[in-house]
Amino acid sequence: MSNFDPRKLRKTVLEMAYAGSTVHIACAFSIIEILAVLYRSHLNLGDRTVDAQDRDFLVLSKGHGVMAQYACMRELGWLKDKDISNYFGDGTLLKGLSDGHVPGLEVTSGSLGHGLSVGVGLALAAKRKGTGQRCFAIVGDGELNEGAIWEAMLFAAQVELSNLLIIVDANGFQAMGRIDEIIRLESIADKFKSFGFETRDIDGHDQDLLTRTIDELMRLNSPAPRALVARTIKGQGISFMANDNRWHYTRLSPESYAKALAELEEQGK
């Protein structure tokens, strides 16, 4: 059984990005630890098959980070090596944005702001049916610019979706620049609290802290929905990508691919 090692997950992301000559590496790297912790410790996956009807929902509303989720799905056996090597190739289902046609993905979320509303609907349906399923929805901090996010939050608080956890990948960037230079959002945690969420604000790369905090939030005896502001670094794990927003849209060359892989190998020694 995989332990969802972040270094291995980042290697898979690099393999996919290089095979498909595609972008969105840095925004996948910022959510690696979040996804690793969720898949390892918190998501009820039923019988652990991709078709399990009773598994918890993981909604990647920031759908451009989907390579990180694909890397976790490879560890589960839901994706095969050929899916990784043929990323963006002829005949593949795997696109550069989350696509609900891919088994294991809940939403098509290329258009930012809409995935959370789907997640709220999934959480509400589970609550009404009494299935015990929970919904973990990952949104980007830049995605919070979208009004649909705040409408979904208002509704989630109104109907007391205690089975919903929104995780904000707060890496400080969006596609075209720094968050505070485009639309200032802080304090994100205070905004969630004012909407009626049980809220925490932590380091999004500290796996032990993530595990404890998510467990604490989901065990609270409160009818309110939950929110976790995870402070992350865009491009985390590779020194020349970290906090460099050019890697939102930069493709790997043979040289940068080899350099990134070598750095990951060195981290493993």
Structure tokens at 120: 């709220």
Stretch 30-41: mean pLDDT: 98
Cα-Cα-Cα-Cα dihedral sign, residues 37, 56, 49, 21:
negative
**120-161 tens-digit pLDDT:** 999 999 999 999 999 999 999 999 999 999 999 999 999 999
Alpha-carbon gap, residue 117 to 155, rounded angstroms = 9
User: What per-residue confidence (pLDDT) applies to 1?
Assistant: 62
More confident: 269 or 41: 41
Q: Considering the chain, what is the average pLDDT of its residues?
A: 97
The domains of the chain are located at 6-267
User: Could you tell me the pLDDT band of residue 269, with boundaries at 50, 70 and 90?
Assistant: confident
Stretch 241-264: mean pLDDT: 97
Q: For residues 49-71, b (16+ Cβ closer than 10 Å) or e, as one string?
A: eeeeeebbbbbbbbbbbbbbbbb
**pTM for the model:** 0.97
Fold of 6-267: Rossmann fold (3.40.50)
Stretch 208-227: mean pLDDT: 98
Largest CA distance in the chain: 53
Alpha-carbon gap, residue 233 to 160, rounded angstroms = 31
Spatial contact of 39 and 4, defined as CB atoms under 8 Å apart: yes
User: What per-residue confidence (pLDDT) applies to 58?
Assistant: 98
Percentage above 70 pLDDT, the chain: 100
Alpha-carbon gap, residue 53 to 128, rounded angstroms = 16
**154-198 tens-digit pLDDT:** 999 999 999 999 999 999 999 999 999 999 999 999 999 999 999
Could you tell me if residue 243 is left (phi over 0), alpha (psi between -120 and 50 degrees) or otherwise beta? left
Query: Quick one: how far is CA 213 from the chain centroid?
Result: 16
Given a cut of 70, whether residue 29 has pLDDT beyond it is yes
Given a cut of 80, whether residue 238 has pLDDT beyond it is yes
Give strand pairing partners of 230: 169, 202
Measured in Å, how far apart are the chain's first and last C-alpha atoms? 22
Q: Percent helix, strand, coil in the chain (nearest 5)?
A: 45, 10, 40
Q: What are phi and psi of 198, to 5 degrees?
A: -75, 120
Give the type of residue at 244. D
Helix (H) or strand (E) holding 217: helix 207-219
Alpha-carbon gap, residue 138 to 118, rounded angstroms = 12
User: Could you tell me the pLDDT band of residue 207, with boundaries at 50, 70 and 90?
Assistant: very high
Given a cut of 70, whether residue 227 has pLDDT beyond it is yes
Given a cut of 80, whether residue 5 has pLDDT beyond it is yes
Given a cut of 90, whether residue 2 has pLDDT beyond it is no
